[in-house]
Structure 1
């Protein structure tokens, strides 16, 4: 089979055993460095993608995509609910009552966010049903004063299904004995776990029970909306609020949690650029490798020139040699990065088990494990950038090789 001789010689130089073992060592180091750089970059970008995905699915699956509120309380919320669900870009809507307070049991006290919900409607706008550890949101019955709490809160208070806890609201009740905070005993009906900080602060009660505790009549605090495209939530919620009478306004996830997604996006970009510098350093180690090879092969270059090889053919030989090193390094790094990205969650979990320490605590971070999402677009971008830098790194040494003077190189041979 015909092979152009510059490519053939370049590959022979790459695979040949050298008398100068230092050159072989530098060549191997360049390849390993490139492999590690590409693998780490693909893995880190996959982890950042995983954090972004988990925030969207878990956090935005629990918190509203958008809400419609009134400067007072909503009285005729049923009509607004119906108006919202008529839009094709809204999946579902559900009323809610929200209050902040504290929960206490057995001497333990914790700040909470109490959400009053209608279980049958909440199931359409939230992922809570998919993450119940014990019980169900449909166990919340009007008048029974049941409550569903997160697993971290349950662990802190040392309670389980059937135990009673006390909710303390920051509203005073005037009694003959004086002014006291508003208290109400609730029975734990279920425990959920979404793997986020909501596990330690969010509680759910039936909307009718929340209305009684807060002394509301048939009023609610707002209507929660679930969108088909959550990135259109600000525009859609604003349009609905404009169609309603004066006094209504909208809010959406970009105001409450948008900074998290911006932070993840910025961190992914900055970390990607920093790690790309590692890939660049490894790629440009090929320069030193080829410079030493050119110095070592001056006699061979001179002989090829005297046999009629053109300067461009000499350049092709060394470009081919450096490109082959970069190609192997990139391919090995890509394979290693893909394998690490697909298994990094299991690896970290295994390390946590061995070390007896949890690296991501849900009390501190939004999720309690290391997520990963491999995107082929990232793989192609990283592999392509690494290979391009490898090829660029070969140009200067190859140009130096093409400028070797045959007479000067063979003078002392």
Structure 2
């Protein structure tokens, strides 16, 4: 998929500052980090697996880290609605029904999520919610669910619905809003799963708390790199009440290396994407639990003051605004409540590399100031950066995640007089360095 620089810059300029459902429901940081059953179990889910996984979240410390929700994905129901048109829990796998299940989850301190579809059927051929939106929203609320993932399969013919993708998802958004108005209960947190690179990020914020921005993730580096590449062009779409959803975390799955797992988790967290664990916790290693529960990375994802995503300040290997699904942007930053800049450098190469940037390349850094450097993966203070920073020997597909905090004026007498030479001039109108340079 190739785009011109002008086209991609135009897309980014169009991305809205998210304003969806600014009513206190679904606002970061609450309910941001969750667990989902799909990637680990597919359709092999039942109430025992759900409750056992919830217990593992507690015993492994993930609930304390902030993972506060259990979500069911597809395949939870019977193949057909009841005689009066109501969705039904699968009698064999959920014999006690969902009111009992959600009550147990709530008693354990979790919220509960469920899945449906905007078409005739779900992606695994169970009943969808098209033409039954309000009935299904009422059912989910009566069952005790707090969250709805809403998928995009079995779309009705155009001459039936006479709506585009936006219109189909809007039907459920309206049903959720109407139900909340009449019942007096908080609306379901609404997560769109449109799974195609379309303009969902342009309109998703008008109706939902999160929206998928790409196809289903796979547990390999190529898939993760491609999603990071896409995210580099739409960071403006994320804020407290609406978030670009990069899809389920594959941390610990497939053949991802330890460094790739760290990079994957860091990217999703600093993008402020919903963090949905897709790993079978009964088989997970302590190393992977440590990745998923890194408190300093989660603190940025859960920042109560800054809801926006990080964004690239330099693409690095490629010219800025280049779309390259194998080698995405490498240098990113954003503001943080704990410091003016949370930064990360991503080594997209398949071999170790040093990574250098000038501090003032990031818009959140002030010229003429020095910055203390906190490494969010080694949990260590790495001295003071003046003018620039170099991360040495970053592993293949590895990441360096930093929190930079103002440490006062830089020392006197530093040459050059401007960190970035371009247009560096004196009061009498002369250039100090003879104009501009692209050198950093």
Both proteins in one fold, TM over 0.5: no
Higher Cα radius of gyration? 1
The structure with the largest helix share of the pair is 1
What TM-score, normalized to structure 2?
A: 0.22
Higher relative contact order (CA 8 A, sep 6+): 1
What TM-score, normalized to structure 1?
A: 0.23
